[in-house]
Structure 1
Amino acid sequence: MESQGHNYNYDVVTSATTTTFGTHPEAKFTPAEKEARMFWSVQPPIGIIQGHYYKNERDFDGGNHGILELVTDNDGKLIHVEFNELAASNYYEPKYANASKRLSDYAFFQAENTRTDDTLVTWVNGVTFLEGQMLAENRLDGNFKTVKGSSTSARNGMMPLAEEMKEWVKKPFGFYYYGIAEPLGNGLTARLQVVTEEDKIISVKYDEIFADKKQDISDSKLQTFYRQSKYYSLDYGKETANAFVKFADGIEKQVLKTQNLLNIPKQDSEDFHNYEKLARKLQAEINK
């Protein structure tokens, strides 16, 4: 399969695979060799997506928290599928407790472990592969192929949530999704997601996602954060005193109060200008 310009050749299975969690076999590659062999993408779909919105979430496998979001068109066809997972609060590696497995450096943490030397895949590979099947086949239940060595979250977290939602998507629940993502030209992609309930804005999420390849990021000081996002990257947050998280949370707080993406105090910052550019386009869609 091909995604984000990268060709994948996965070893797939149609049932759960035996976990190698906790093992540390002898390394088969140097870190540089392994990095060259592994690839995963955290890039959002580019452009505007809008449609009926559905969300389902629950804890599974010892406290990991799965969140599945779906968007359908007016005919009930799936047009967006996205699964996210927060590591358990008592995760064995404390750094990742309650962290996003998709947009932090969690996948790099997996890649560094020698138990992935055979599979050369991470959590992200397993989830995006399943998302693609659901979209392509326009279904949420039944059996799916999963990536060998990265099937646990897909089968224990994402698939049960999806199956519960198979009847939901047959009719609108009153929630509507507006999403937009655009490259900023510097190795970052800006993303704004808005959810309304009966035409009232109830959620506003803004993020900037670093490129999948470090050489695509123009600011060399930021290259270390590739395949992560400003909001969810633990290391970026630590280095910047969580300034972006505070900014994005502040945007949401103001918009929920004013019910308009643009009716917020102006800020002289690059983050604000990037947000405002996307907000103008999305507010136009909301006003239609």
Structure 2
Amino acid sequence: MAAHNKTRRYALPAATLVALAMTGCASQAPQGKYLDGTHEVSGKGKKSTITLQVQVEQGKIQQITTQSHKETESLYLNAERLFPKIVTNNGHEGIDAVSGSTFSSNGILQAINSLPRTDGSTPEYQPVGASEEKGDEFKLKWSIQPRLGLLKGDYYYEEARFRQGHMGSMIIVLDSDNPSDVILAEFNESGRPNYYTRLYQDVPKRMSEYNFSMGKKKGTAWVQSALTMEKMMVEKDKLTFEPNPDYDPKLANKLNQPNRLKYLGLDIVAGASNSIQQSLVPLTAKIHDRIQGEGTQLKLYQNAERLTDDQGRWTGITSLLRFVVDTSTKEIVDVYYDEIFADSKGEIRDASLKKHYRQSKYDSVHYVEPARIGFNVMFDALNEHVKAGGSIFDIDDLPATGDTGSYAQTGFTKRSASWDLYLKQAELLYQEMRADQVVRAHN
């Protein structure tokens, strides 16, 4: 669900750029190290060629952008920590590789080494090792932001419990006009009912606090692996994976062994192989069989949009609405509405909500809904109402649709602002479904 952006940037602050520009106005400005312009340069990583776009002004590197790579995503994110060092140093000389990402680091540094220089030289690149202390651990980053705008296509869903009772679920959406085109792949997992941490019993992991509090090995590894697999499925239209003939179960827990994976072609962050191999891969294989067999009569209609304030600025919250409709009966069989917080605290304008970054209102266990009733309770009730035949616009009897009672006596609830946001999205998707003639009339 999340959006996967290949482009990452590091640039100097605006004030620094202004200062550099003023310096460049001097008639006696010294010749710079690199040729001015926007250059595309490449270096060899561990698994692929790493291609960077580098902006040079007045001989100095101003901005570095990753154009493409096929490295292990988490390791490459680690290596990208070199960007600010390269900009500050105006070159790669004297910079060591990042510990744990030596090959990707050298690919980046080699690319910088190939930048065209004002003196016409092209120094031979000398690979470097890592010298950072082990205590300087990289904290994995990830994005849970959905693809903005309208998305619709043929819908497939599978879920099953695995490994001690965790619940895995997989959504695949195909382009209705081109069934070989995977346009959405989304994996989720909920903690087992008897999970040793009570807080996460039956709680979905994708957009909850799980990915923070469970630590690097369990939380961030889980979500990073899921996002990496989803990205591969969409980009390569790939839903099946071949078994690894060299797999040795005796080495299954030795995470530094390449044959610990049961399937070939999987790019998994260490610590999440069970979820991927025991849940995501088998569930996707079932969906693949259904695609090749009976197909589906279900269609997904989804819209995601950023919520803005009165001045048109993003609040740091993205609203998402999904309808799953059975085209044979023209009934909506599933409704999911959520509001997803930005990937960083700085993007969230309401200070009281910053702590919920990379989480959603539906999945968070600590989010407090101002309506004084659970956000998940509100929209679970909507789902049940619609599945029972109710109109998607008839919300009057649902939780937190109005002020009720006395808080001291009955647990007073307020009308939630999220209902109005939902209704706006519902109207948009309803018009789309009606235009496609896949849903009955809703009053």
CA contact (8 A) 1:258 1:264 kept: no
What SS does structure 2 have at the residue aligned with 1:169? helix
**1:255–1:263 Cα contact (<8 Å) kept:** no
2:164 is paired with a residue whose SS is coil
Could you tell me whether the CA contact under 8 Å between 1:255 and 1:264 is conserved in 2? Answer: no
Larger Rg: 2
| Displacement after TM superposition at 1:169 (Å) | 1.9
Q: Does 1:284 align with 2:431?
A: yes
Unmatched tracts of structure 2, length 5 or more: 9-65, 67-71, 77-132, 242-263, 308-313, 403-414, 436-443
Distance 1:138 1:3, change over 3 A: same
> For 1:162 and 1:280, how far apart are their aligned partners in 2?
32
In structure 2, the partner of 1:3 is 5
Q: Distance in 2 between matches of 1:244 and 1:272?
A: 10
Q: For residues 225-248 of structure 1, what are the alpha-carbon distances to aligned partners after superposition, in whole Å with 9 as ceiling and x for unaligned?
A: 111110110011589754312221
CA contact (8 A) 1:186 1:217 kept: yes
TM superposition score normalised by structure 2: 0.55
Structure 2 residue corresponding to 1:51, chosen from 146, 153, 156:
153
8 Å contact 1:255–1:261 — kept in the other structure? yes
Counterpart residue number, 2:42: none
Greater relative contact order: 1 or 2 (C-alpha under 8 angstroms, separation 6 or more)? 1
- Contact residue 221 and residue 269 of structure 2 kept, 8 A: no
- Whether the 8 Å CA contact 1:187–1:218 is kept in 2: the answer is yes
Native 8 Å contact 1:10 1:147 kept in 2 = no
Give 2:228's aligned residue.
129
Contact between 1:38 and 1:121, CA under 8 Å: does it hold in 2?
Answer: yes
The residue type paired with residue 195 of structure 2 is Y
Contact 2:371 2:416 in 1 (8 A): no
Instruction: Provide the residue aligned with 1:38 in structure 2.
Output: 140
Residue 186 (1) aligns with residue 315 (2): yes
Give the equivalent residue in structure 2 for 1:19.
none
Moved more, 54-63 or 69-78: 69-78
Structure 1 position 203, deviation (Å): 0.7
Q: Deviations over 1:74-106 (max 9, x none)?
A: 221211111110011111211111111101110
Contact in 2 for aligned 1:175/1:195 (Cα 8 Å):
yes
Listed as ranges, the gaps of 5+ residues in structure 1 are 13-26
What is the total number of aligned residue pairs between the two structures? 264
Q: Which amino acid aligns with 2:321?
A: L
1:224-282 C-alpha deviation (Å, 9 max, x unpaired): 11111101100115897543122212332333345543243376542112111211110
What are the superposed Cα offsets for residues 22-46 of structure 1, whole Å, 9 maximum, x if unpaired? xxxxx965xxx76x73311111121
The Cα offsets for residues 99-150 of structure 1, whole Å up to 9 and x where unpaired, read as: 1110111000133x6x57xxx9421101010001111111211233222313
Q: How does 1:75-224 map to 2 (within 5 A)?
A: 75-76=178-179, 77-111=181-215, 115=217, 121-142=220-241, 143-149=264-270, 150-170=272-292, 172-184=295-307, 185-197=314-326, 198=328, 199-224=330-355
Give, in whole Å, the separation in 1 of the partners of 2:268 and 2:386.
40
Query: Cα 1:66–1:9, aligned 2, differ >3 Å: closer, same or farther?
Result: closer
- For structure 1, which segment, 247-256 or 128-137, has the greater mean C-alpha deviation from structure 2 after superposition? 247-256
Task: Report the RMSD for the aligned CA atoms in angstroms.
Answer: 2.7
